[in-house]
Amino acid sequence: MKRLWFLFAQVVTVLLAAYFVVGTLKPQWLGQATSSLGTVSIFEAPVPELGTTAVGSFSAAVKRAAPAVVSINTSKTSRHPAANDPWFRFFFGDQGEQQQTGLGSGVIMSPQGYVLTNNHVVEGADEIEVVLTDARRAPAAVIGTDPESDLAVLKIDLDKLPVIVLGSSDHVQVGDRVLAIGNPFGVGQTVTSGIVSALGRNQLGINTFENFIQTDAAINPGNSGGALVDIDGNLMGINTAIYSRSGGSMGIGFAIPVSTAKQVMESIVKNGQVVRGWIGVEPGELTPELAQTFGANVQQGVIVTGVLNGGPASQAGIRPGDVITQVNEKPVRTVSELLSRIAALPPGEPSAFTLQRRGEEVQASVTPVQRPRPRQQPVR
């Protein structure tokens, strides 16, 4: 019996010694690796096979959306304002014409070659070139622009174009994961990730009609006109602006919702310009003090501070001091929301407005006209 125990102990000792030697010299044989400290064993994950997607990866969304996001190169010729002044030419010589270039991004919206971008990307450009991710290049023609929303529609003549899939920005929520795709600083197509930080951002002084999606996905110069997509690769918005003190990303970027962008693009393609409704009122934010002054027993709405004589609102009986609470049964809470609601109304078709007037609910039927081109301070 003692011989058997002695033999067993020797076998165990030999096996432990062999395990120690193999674990030190050839750890991969045991499926583990030793850290640089020599005291902690780290189990290596198996190498994924080609074609598989790591857990939490956004590669599928990028593969779906990225081919439809393009780079936009612009150029324009400019002369110094005083180039024709003889004294300027005497001191500085003939400056001649100078070429200015710009960079931006765009999104292919249809197989027919319509590309959506920001108006400020192509504004004033003499030549516009669109560069696809497959290295194809094509000159672009401007179909129409809309400075009030900072959007522009271009058209290129190429076949077999990749097209973005439109999502629903009306259902996006704060906290949703999003990806920003564009060409920042001209380094080439770049993808950044983040979340939706806020919705309905307005009063930023960027556009006339502001209803931005705010995101912390890194957006930098050159990203303008690029795509903001969800984790499935569906278009949620057009990246437009950043809040920055340094010129680079500080975690606050803004995108135009795809619902607005789609409406603008369809109007430009159909009419050559954006056709918006207009009723001729000057709106103001409703404060508790104003509500008490005008006897409005509502907590939300937009107060009418001015009405254009002879305008659609005046003809419908809307007066200063009225509080607009609904447009076509859709609630109105802010001035920007009211402007968007009115702009979406088709000119020439009556629309239902719900008002609060001295504590009483009033219904008004307003027939909007086409919004005039903006001047310095237009009546909305």
Annotated catalytic residues are 120, 150, 224
Amino acid identity of residue 47, one-letter, is: V
Amino acid identity of residue 198, one-letter, is: A
Instruction: Give the span between the Cα atoms of 72 and 155, in whole angstroms.
Output: 12
CB 327 within 8 A of CB 356: no
Instruction: Give the span between the Cα atoms of 258 and 264, in whole angstroms.
Output: 10
Retrieve residue 380's tokens: 């909305």
- For residue 319, give the 3-state DSSP assignment: coil
- For residue 337, give the 3-state DSSP assignment: helix
Bridge partners of 205, per DSSP, are: none
Q: Strand 234-242 to strand 165-166: parallel, antiparallel, or no bridges (unpaired)?
A: parallel
Question: DSSP per residue over 52-69, as a string?
Answer: ---TT--HHHHHHHGGGE
Burial of residue 133 (number of CB atoms within 10 Å: 0-12, 13-18, 19+): middle
Distance of CA 142 to the CA centre of its chain: 21
Backbone phi, then psi, for 227, in 5-degree steps? -100, 140
Stated as kind and residue range, the H or E segment containing 25 is helix 2-25
Distance of CA 295 to the CA centre of its chain: 40
* Residue closest to 224 by CA, chosen among 203, 194, 254, 268: 254
